[in-house]
Amino acid sequence: MNDRPWQDLLAESVTSADELCRRFPVARKTVLPVIDQYPMRINPYFLSLIREPGDPIWRQAIPDPAELEDTLPEADPLAEEAQSPVPGLIHRYPDRVVFLVSSQCALFCRHCMRKRQVGKSNAMKPGTVDNGIAYIQETPAIRDVILSGGDPFLLSDDHLIEDILKPLRGIPHVEILRIHTRIPCTLPQRITEALVRRLKAFAPLYINIQFNHPAEITPNATQACARLADAGIPLGCQTVLLKGVNDSPVVMRRLMQKLLAIRVRPYYIHQGDLVKGTGHFRTSVREGLDIMSALRGHTSGMCVPQYMIDLPGGGGKIPLLPEYVIEKRHNEWYIQTFDNRIVAYPVSNEGRRRN
Ligand SMILES: *Cc1c(COP(=O)(O)O)cnc(C)c1O
Ligand code: SF4
């Protein structure tokens, strides 16, 4: 199964309540209203990673009635739509944009921050690609373009390369291209040799992947990442902190170590956004900080990402760090080590000058 063409695997995805109920002990009447609001798609590769009901793979893939009972009110708390000068292009920061070029994915993640849009047939306005490219062309301040969605790798090779990557590469002020994707994790068969050969031409092109659990680092995922890395494409990971999936220092540390071993550099751990329909995945910020304390010093610094919260209203991403500075005196700070000792550090040289 795991070496079949990705198009066949995608076509065999579980998308209806009846198919889901045939495979798993879930009630049709609890699934139907959920997938009516937020579509389901579970391709057979990702489905094969489920070991038992409620496990970390299950929680990311199987619709949960809690999605409809959520008390979080906002479908778009980060004000992405208000910060879109043209549909599908979010321009929040001075020099970079997020360009939503697809509304389709190989898995509709139950925790998706764009669940208001993904998988919905009307999510992509006609002309999105052309209007987005025209805006980028007319805006010389943009030097970094992030293709996202949905998943850009759900587009055909030709459409992604000829209609999107090539025109963007032709714009002189666009220095950096990035693709944000879950494909190497959710349907690694999509990373074909033919695709990688064509992507190679667009350097500097960075690919950031969302892996959320060590069980996602399979032989197939490892091969997909190896192909990309062998083509000289730097890989990063943007993990989402999710209750019941990876909200534990032991699980998160193992994930970060395994990512580094497949040449994927952990970039961000995201605090879950306040998106309607995802409240059952939310952890406290304290738990996120505890995970960061359990990484720094305890394992390779190369696999310690930054812990980010994305502020409501479009305030942007801000990194949070555990409090390492315990006390600030006049010219000495008391700093906590990773193994909980306190060490004094001279922060100014006033003392020295007086001597
Ligand atoms: C996350 C994000 C970016 C990219 O942020 P980096 O910190 O540069 O990775 C750009 N624009 C928007 C709207 C984003 O949400
Ligand atoms: S792959 Fe990304 S965009 Fe698609 S459903 Fe999952 S989190 Fe959302």
- Which contacts (CB < 8 Å, 24+ apart) does range 20-29 have? 20/62, 20/63, 23/47, 24/53, 24/62, 25/53, 26/53, 26/62
Candidate from 43, 46, 107, 151 with most ligand 2 atoms within 8 A of CB, to mutate: 151
pLDDT band per the 50, 70, 90 thresholds, residue 353 = low
What pLDDT digit, counting tens, does each position of 132-158 carry?
999 999 999 999 999 999 999 999 999
**Strands of the sheet with 176-181, listed across from one edge:** 89-93, 96-100, 144-148, 176-181, 205-209, 235-240, 264-270, 306-311, 316-320
Q: Could you give the residue ranges of the DSSP H alpha helices within 114-181?
A: 128-138, 157-158, 166-169
337 is written with which tokens?
Answer: 């080590």
- Alpha-carbon span 233 to 228, nearest angstrom: 6
How crowded is the C-beta side of 253, counted as CA atoms within 13 Å? 15
Q: Whole-number mean pLDDT of the chain?
A: 96
Residue 105 is assigned to a ligand binding site: yes
Ligand 1, CB within 6 Å, residue ranges: 90, 92-93, 96, 98, 146, 317
Is pLDDT at 355 greater than 80 in this prediction? no
Domains of the chain: 74-318 (3.20.20.70)
Per-residue pLDDT, averaged over 37-53, amounts to: 97
pLDDT band per the 50, 70, 90 thresholds, residue 131 = very high
pLDDT band per the 50, 70, 90 thresholds, residue 263 = very high
pLDDT band per the 50, 70, 90 thresholds, residue 3 = confident
Ligand 2, CB within 6 Å, residue ranges: 105, 107-109, 112, 114, 118, 149-151, 182
